[in-house]
Structures are given as C-alpha cells and as structure tokens.
C-alpha cells in the first residue's frame, strides 16, 4: 500500500510539472525536490554525512547550500527524464568537449564496441540523447527500483530516451554482453557501493567499486570512455564531455582511473554529484 501511495503522489507531481512549459517545469521540479521531497526522503542527512566525510572543514552555510543544490539537480534530472522529446531535443544540441570524441569516431568506423562509464552526476542521459539523435543508440544498464509501481513507468521513460535498456540481473547482463559483442555501445554508472568489489579510492576514501565495465572492455576489446553531462549555469542546458579512453591494464587499475576521472568532475562541479548515495557505507549497512 505504501509503495502504491508513493507512486500515486509521484505521478501526480509529475503530471503537474508536465503541464508547465519546459523551462518552468525543470525549475519547478528541482525546487520541489530541494525543499520538500528531499527533506522528507532524508536526502539532506545523507548529503551531510557524505560531505562531513569528504569535506569536514566545510562551513555550515556551504553545507546547506550544497544540500539544496544536490537535491535541485536530482529533481531536474528526474523531470528531464520524463520530458522525453523535449529533453532529447535540448540535450542533442549540447556543445561538446574532450579527447574521447576522436577515439569514438574511430571505433565506430571500425565496428569496435564502446563501453561508456560515468557516475550519478549532472544528467547522465545527455550522452544517450546526443548520440541517439545522430542515429547511434547507446544501451544502458540500470538498477530496477524496489517500488515496482514506480519502476514500470520510470523504465518506460528512460527507454524512450534511447535503447536498449538492460536491467541488472542475469538476463539483463546476458543481453548487454550480446549487444557489446555485436559492436554496440553501452553506458554504465559505477559510483555505487558494492560489498565484495574492488577496494579502490574515491574522494580520498576507500570505495568498493565494481570492475565489470573494465572487465567487459578488456574481454571484448571495447573502448572504455568516461563521459559527463555537465549542467550549465542556466540549469537547463549541458556540455557533453567525453574524455580520452582509459588505457588497457588490470580491471582494478582501469576502474581506479574512472574513479579519478569522476572525482575530478565532482570537485569541479561539487553540487552536481548525487551526494545522496551511500558511497562509503559503514560495514553492516
């Protein structure tokens, strides 16, 4: 019952937002998540805990500002996902930077697969929108939500941006590997904690990080390209950054290089990373 009520509340909120013009919609949803949804969901406590770990010296006023900024970005990202064609059209016009574009073009000419890697930062669907608009679909691995009512319409929304979509699990993994073996492109977010994974470093602390993206790149001779949809000061537009390919090495060394890349982006745009994640949980969480 609680999941159904949560889903109903969210659907009503989205419906209200979707009745607004796109710019007002994105600002409205960011504001709602920053001032209402985030506090009710306990996001503020998570942001504060993570900031206290990484930046214990940060003044209280800056912690409050970042807590609102993080939740605002999360809200904007969420409603952009549900905005479908409007978001895709804007994202497709994003300016680009980074040494990875030349390598990407060479891989596409050679029919070589590409594994894009990033974190929950900015709007990570900018990449799929940008390439999809150019007839270059990028599959995505995603973690289904425990709330199945929410997951059904969320999956439909992300699928509308670009496909195919591969839910985590045995079947989704098999489908993704088949897609990569055929020379396809896939995007993965690797900044979530996973007990038993490689004990690497992120933001100066041990962060257990899955090395599956690097392992897949090595096995199928795919490029491993870090990417970021960096939100611009207007809050509505983006810059698509694709960095140079991660050099081949051990899965741990390659994944650490991805962590280092993401860390640099987080330090440069600190309010755009999803600080609500339990990236460094205490044992037993």
Of 151 and 179, the structure prediction assigns the larger pLDDT to: 179
What's the pLDDT score for residue 28? Answer: 97
What's the pLDDT score for residue 235? Answer: 97
List the one residue out of 89, 42, 44, 92 whose CA is nearest residue 66. Answer: 44
Beta carbons of 100 and 242 less than 8 angstroms apart: yes
The 10s digit of each residue's pLDDT in 43-70 is 999 999 999 999 999 999 999 999 999 9
Tokens matching residue 41 = 């969901």
What's the pLDDT score for residue 149? Answer: 66
What's the pLDDT score for residue 156? Answer: 78
What's the pLDDT score for residue 282? Answer: 65
In sequence order, which residues have a C-beta less than 8 Å from that of residue 101 and are 6 or more positions away? Answer: 242
Residue 284 binned pLDDT confidence (cut-offs 50, 70, 90): very low
Listed in sequence order, the DSSP H helices in the chain are 2-18, 22-32, 38-41, 43-54, 60-82, 85-92, 100-110, 126-132, 148-161, 170-181, 212-219, 251-268
Q: Is the pLDDT score of 285 beyond 50? A: no
Q: Is the pLDDT score of 107 beyond 60? A: yes
Cβ neighbourhood burial of 18 (10 Å; 0-12, 13-18, 19+): middle
State the sign of the Cα–Cα–Cα–Cα dihedral 125, 128, 131, 133: negative
Cβ neighbourhood burial of 220 (10 Å; 0-12, 13-18, 19+): middle
What's the pLDDT score for residue 144? Answer: 75
Q: How far is CA 26 from the centre of its chain?
A: 17
The 10s digit of each residue's pLDDT in 70-98 is 999 999 999 999 999 999 999 999 999 99
Tokens matching residue 248 = 């081949």
Instruction: Tell me how far apart the alpha carbons of residues 94 and 139 are, in angstroms, rounded to a whole number.
Output: 20
What's the pLDDT score for residue 143? Answer: 77
List the one residue out of 185, 176, 276 whose CA is nearest residue 227. Answer: 185
Tell me the average pLDDT across 267-276.
97
Residue count of the chain: 285
The 10s digit of each residue's pLDDT in 184-213 is 999 999 999 988 999 999 999 999 999 999
* Rg of the chain in Å (alpha carbons): 18
Of 104 and 5, the structure prediction assigns the larger pLDDT to: 104
What's the pLDDT score for residue 2? Answer: 65
The 10s digit of each residue's pLDDT in 121-166 is 999 999 999 999 999 999 988 877 777 767 677 777 777 787 788 8
Instruction: Tell me how far apart the alpha carbons of residues 213 and 159 are, in angstroms, rounded to a whole number.
Output: 21
| Max CA distance (Å), the chain | 52
Instruction: Tell me how far apart the alpha carbons of residues 71 and 115 are, in angstroms, rounded to a whole number.
Output: 28
Q: Is the pLDDT score of 20 beyond 70? A: yes
DSSP 17-74: HHTS-HHHHHHHHHHHIIIIIHHHHTHHHHHHHHHHHH-TT--HHHHHHHHHHHHHHH
Q: Is the pLDDT score of 3 beyond 70? A: no
Q: Is the pLDDT score of 283 beyond 50? A: no
Q: Which helix (H) or strand (E) holds 210?
A: none
């Amino acid at each position: 019952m609680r999941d159904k009520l949560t889903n109903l509340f969210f659907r009503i909120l989205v419906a209200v937002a979707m009745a607004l013009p796109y710019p007002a919609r994105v600002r409205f949803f960011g504001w709602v998540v920053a001032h209402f949804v985030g506090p009710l969901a306990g996001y503020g406590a998570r942001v504060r805990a993570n900031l206290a770990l990484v930046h214990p010296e940060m003044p209280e006023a800056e912690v409050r500002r970042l807590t609102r900024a993080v939740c605002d970005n999360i809200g904007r990202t969420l409603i952009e996902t549900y905005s479908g064609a409007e978001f895709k059209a804007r994202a497709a016009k994003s300016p680009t930077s980074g040494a990875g574009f030349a390598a990407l073009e060479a891989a596409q000419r050679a029919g070589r697969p590409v594994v894009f890697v990033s974190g929950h930062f900015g709007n990570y669907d900018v990449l799929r929108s940008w390439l999809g608009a150019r007839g270059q679909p990028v599959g995505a691995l995603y973690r289904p939500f425990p709330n199945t009512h929410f997951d059904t319409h969320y999956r439909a929304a992300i699928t509308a941006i670009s496909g195919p979509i591969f839910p985590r699990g045995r079947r989704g993994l098999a489908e993704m590997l088949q897609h990569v073996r055929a020379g396809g492109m896939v995007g993965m977010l690797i900044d979530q904690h996973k007990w038993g994974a490689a004990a690497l470093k992120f933001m100066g602390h041990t962060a257990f990080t899955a090395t599956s993206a690097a392992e897949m790149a090595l096995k199928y001779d795919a490029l491993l390209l870090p990417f970021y949809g960096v939100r611009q000061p207007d809050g509505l537009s983006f810059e698509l950054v694709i960095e140079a390919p991660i050099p081949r090495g051990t899965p741990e060394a390659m994944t650490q290089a991805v962590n280092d890349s993401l860390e640099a982006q987080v330090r440069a745009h600190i309010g755009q990373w999803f600080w609500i994640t339990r990236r460094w949980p205490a044992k037993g969480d």
